[in-house]
């Protein structure tokens, strides 16, 4: 396949943190960090010939299935951070991508690993795209070693919050962008909680897609000290859309 640019084994982007990307503490908001990661993954997939512009020709699209993000520090407004990302493994139909985020002096900010599927538009089923994917992953680094497993259901939710999917929640596929799920999970905590705690780890299993006008309920429970489990369900039919685990300092 002819490509107009050199293939890069590791993709690197620098992002300067703007005033509209920080939280009440003046630090980069966690959803914004996830957007940086998603943007860099998009760039690298395009560079490797398996990006949106390539998959769309085969009526396919990427879907994020699972992710684990470990946060060591939250950079401040005005600082510049560097996002590095690379494919880190393959399953039978799944494709893994890792991330390493560093600060201005190369100090570690976060590491992450993610699991993706290329699904077809009609049946929403995973497809093998090895015919498009010629990246050598035999000797790649793993940002954080982790075996993805399905998070178990909630036992006794003690917090609930409702949302309705609006136009601004949709992505180019007219489904809810995965980062909105994270925002809704974080909205389940009070302002006082956010002021006194810092997110240090989040693991998510994405189970189903949400669409325009869906009414959703986020349920949460604290199972261990400062470790919470979450479930986002579609109201009425109780269809579970994602499960998550968050750990806080």
Q: How confident is the model at residue 4 (pLDDT cuts 50, 70, 90)?
A: low
49: alpha, beta or left, given left = phi > 0 and alpha = psi -120 to 50? left
Looking at residue 211, which CATH number applies to its domain? 3.10.129.10
Claim to verify: residue 173 and residue 122 sit in the same structural domain: no
For the chain, the domain total comes to 2
Residues 171 and 114 reside in one and the same domain: no
Indicate if the alpha-carbon torsion angle 165, 169, 175, 181 is positive or negative: negative
Residues 120 and 16 in one domain: yes
Helix, strand and coil in the chain, % to nearest 5: 20, 40, 40
Domain end position, chosen among 127, 144, 169: 127
For residue 190, what are the contacts with CB-CB under 8 A and spacing of at least 6?
Answer: none
User: Do 184 and 236 reside in the same domain of the chain?
Assistant: yes
Q: How confident is the model at residue 183 (pLDDT cuts 50, 70, 90)?
A: very high
- Domain identity same for 16 and 118: yes
Closest CA to 35 of 189, 180, 172, 164: 180
- Give 1's pLDDT tier (boundaries 50, 70, 90): very low
Residue 132, in any domain of the structure: no
**Model-wide pTM > 0.75:** yes
Boundaries of domain holding 178: 159-248
How would residue 207 be classed by pLDDT, with cut points 50, 70 and 90? Answer: very high
Which pLDDT does position 238 carry in this prediction?
A: 81
């Amino acid at each position: 396949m002819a490509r107009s640019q050199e293939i890069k084994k590791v993709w690197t982007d620098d992002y300067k943190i703007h005033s509209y990307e920080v939280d009440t503490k003046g630090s980069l908001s966690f959803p914004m960090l996830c957007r940086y990661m998603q943007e860099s993954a998009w760039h690298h997939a395009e560079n490797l010939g398996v990006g949106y512009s390539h998959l769309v020709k085969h009526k396919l699209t990427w879907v994020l299935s699972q992710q684990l993000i470990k946060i060591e520090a939250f950079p401040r407004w005005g600082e510049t951070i560097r996002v590095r990302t690379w494919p880190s493994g393959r399953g039978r139909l799944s494709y893994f991508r890792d991330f390493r985020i560093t600060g201005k002096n190369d100090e570690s900010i976060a590491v992450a690993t993610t699991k993706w599927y290329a699904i077809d538009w009609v049946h929403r089923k995973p497809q093998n795209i090895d015919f498009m994917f010629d990246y050598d992953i035999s000797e790649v680094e793993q940002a954080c070693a982790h075996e993805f497993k399905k998070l178990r259901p909630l036992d006794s939710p003690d917090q609930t919050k409702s949302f309705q999917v609006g136009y601004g929640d949709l992505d180019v596929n007219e489904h809810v962008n995965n980062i909105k799920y994270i925002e809704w999970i974080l909205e389940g905590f009070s302002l006082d909680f956010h002021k006194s705690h810092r997110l240090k780890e989040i693991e998510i299993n994405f189970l189903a897609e949400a669409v325009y006008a869906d009414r959703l309920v986020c349920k949460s429970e604290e199972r261990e000290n400062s470790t919470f489990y979450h479930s986002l369900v579609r109201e009425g039919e109780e269809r579970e859309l994602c499960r998550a685990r968050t750990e806080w300092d």
